Amino acid sequence: MSKVKYYYDKESLSYRKIERKKRTTFKYATLFMLAAAFFAFIFVFIASQYVESPKERALKRELQNAQLQFELLNKKMEQAEAVLANIADRDNNIYRVYFEANPIPEEQRRAGFGGINRYKNLEGFDNSKLIIESNKRLDILQKQIVVQSKSLDEIAILAKEKESLLAAIPAIQPVSNEDLTRMASGYGMRSDPFTKVRKMHWGMDFTAPRGTPIYASGDGVVERADSNSSGYGKHIRINHGYGYTSLYAHLYKYNVRKNQKVKRGDLIGFVGSTGRSEAPHLHYEIFKDGDRINPINFYYGSLTAEEFNKLLEHASLENQSLD
Ligand SMILES: [Zn+2]
């Protein structure tokens, strides 16, 4: 309990209790404090509009850094796009041309994504545009890589096929003919050695002593090795696939059996004069899809241009065939 104070009142000549001004003091104090708090609040509020807090500064730095990184990523994407464009260009203009595949249309390579907006969840932010553009770019890049990868898979298959096609097609001379003088008669109209009548000679004749080795001119499977075809005597037919067959006639001896797989250059038989033949020689034919074609066009790769011309000269002479 606080003390009760009195004062002497001259007018009434009596002691009177001093009324405490506690309430008034408290009121003023409270008012002052409220005012101070209010102004402090206003000050801080206004100041915060112009002055950044350390935390804000840190966040701002981080955001700037993120933006910078995004821009750098875009630059890198630009480089990746350029590299991919170069690969696509080579793919279309070299590889696909070489392997006889149609180029992939630009629209297909550059196709974006239609339909629903894939980037809706990225909208509504300050950096939305930058982020959406980057995402779009990366998505397209990804899609282009898939298209390119598929194209190269296709090329790889075509290359393998071409390789086996090239190995299969008859492409070497079936007997050793280094000075090319063994080429006795070519494909075309020739005088028949027996009747002397001018008629079509469907192959090439290579003269050689009896027993000279005969080689498979391409990879394939021996379809026949018998003498049951009139005129050819002992003969071999090799099926090379892709519509190609080669035929070797008037053999002295076989070195392969029916259904045997052979590689280009394998020894398949020996020169003889069986069947309708005037002297020991190899009669050689090439069939494409059942039709006989001129074997002269099949020695690419094994002859130089000069040798080829010499062979062509020999083969073009309209002489008498050996049949
Ligand atoms: Zn012939």
How much distance in Å is there from the Cα of 206 to the middle of ligand 1? 8
Q: Is the pTM of this model over 0.85?
A: no
Question: Tell me, what's the pLDDT at 15?
Answer: 86
- If you average pLDDT over residues 91-119, what whole number do you get? 83
Question: Tell me, what's the pLDDT at 152?
Answer: 93
Question: Tell me, what's the pLDDT at 18?
Answer: 75
Convert the pLDDT of each residue in 19-43 to its tens digit: 767 778 889 999 999 999 999 999 9
How much distance in Å is there from the Cα of 246 to the middle of ligand 1? 13
Q: Which residues, including other chains, have CB under 8 Å from residue 270's CB and lie 6 or more apart?
A: 210, 211, 212, 213, 214, 251, 252, 253, 255
Return the higher-pLDDT residue of 246 and 114.
246
How much distance in Å is there from the Cα of 322 to the middle of ligand 1? 5
Residue 212 pLDDT level (bands cut at 50, 70, 90):
very high
- Which residues neighbour ligand 1 (ion) by CB within 5 Å? 205, 283, 321, 323
Question: Tell me, what's the pLDDT at 2?
Answer: 62
How much distance in Å is there from the Cα of 290 to the middle of ligand 1? 18
Cα separation, 120 vs 14, whole angstroms: 89
How much distance in Å is there from the Cα of 166 to the middle of ligand 1? 26
E strands, the chain, where?
6-9, 14-17, 183-185, 188-191, 198-201, 204-207, 213-215, 220-226, 235-241, 244-249, 251-254, 261-262, 267-271, 281-288, 291-293
**pLDDT exceeds cutoff 70 at 283:** yes
- If you average pLDDT over residues 44-60, what whole number do you get? 88
Task: Tell me the DSSP string of 275-288.
Answer: SS-SSSEEEEEEEE
Question: Tell me, what's the pLDDT at 179?
Answer: 83
How much distance in Å is there from the Cα of 165 to the middle of ligand 1? 27
Question: Tell me, what's the pLDDT at 107?
Answer: 83
Cα separation, 300 vs 291, whole angstroms: 20
Residue 112 pLDDT level (bands cut at 50, 70, 90):
low
How much distance in Å is there from the Cα of 199 to the middle of ligand 1? 11
Number of other CB atoms surrounding residue 92 within 10 Å:
18
| Nearest Cα residue to 276 out of 210, 321, 237 | 321
